[in-house]
Amino acid sequence: MRSKPNILVTGTPGTGKTTTSAALAEATNLRHINIGDLVRDKKLHDGWDDELECYVINEDLVCDELEEIMEGGGNIVDHHGCDFFPERWFDRVVVLQTENSILFDRLSKRGYTGAKLTNNIECEIFQVLLEEAKDSYKEEIVVAMKSDSVDDMNSNVATISEWVRSWRV
């Protein structure tokens, strides 16, 4: 039994997962694990996908790499997908959501154009990550949070930090 909770922070790219997770880690002393960085640094992938311009994640390698760490508790996992992690890993699943025009600007600034930009905006419009989270975890641990502004982010970090403080097995 873990003594600290594990939290998954998910959502469409650009919704603020990494910024929010970093702030949350600082506020709670939990460990921030950015799956994208982990995959790149530990080569937990099957090569580069030229079309999608990202690594092809090897989900088994990622899960093997994290099993012991997750058993220990106290982790914030930051990833734009959530269906391949073991359900038992997480005590809370946070789905960040951003208004379309705001997300469009953020992703444009990041250099996304064409199909990559459109696909991500559609992903947000159709609430793909919220559906994926609800399909993969018990509904009562899944929480959607608006992430349009810095105020939203601060309030989300405060809410989740409070939840961490009051968490008991």
Alpha helices in the chain (DSSP H): 17-28, 35-41, 59-72, 100-109, 114-125, 128-136, 150-165
In the complex, residue closest to Mn ion by CB: 18
Residue in the structure block whose two tokens are 């699943």: 93
Of positions 5, 6, 8, 13, contacts ligand ADP by CB under 6 A: 13
Alpha carbons 146 and 103: distance in angstroms, whole number: 12
CB 158 to ligand ADP: min, Å: 13
Residue in the structure block whose two tokens are 């311009």: 53
Give yes or no for residue 18 binding Mn ion (CB under 5 A). yes
Of positions 152, 155, 161, 167, contacts ligand ADP by CB under 6 A: 152
Q: Using CB under 6 A, which of the segments 6-14, 44-52, 53-61, 129-137 binds ligand ADP?
A: 6-14
Alpha carbons 58 and 165: distance in angstroms, whole number: 34
Residue in the structure block whose two tokens are 């959607």: 144
Q: Which is nearer to ligand ADP, 19 or 167 (CB)?
A: 19
Binding site for ligand ADP (CB under 6 A): 11, 13-19, 106, 147, 149-150, 152-153
Binding site for Mn ion (CB under 5 A): 17-18
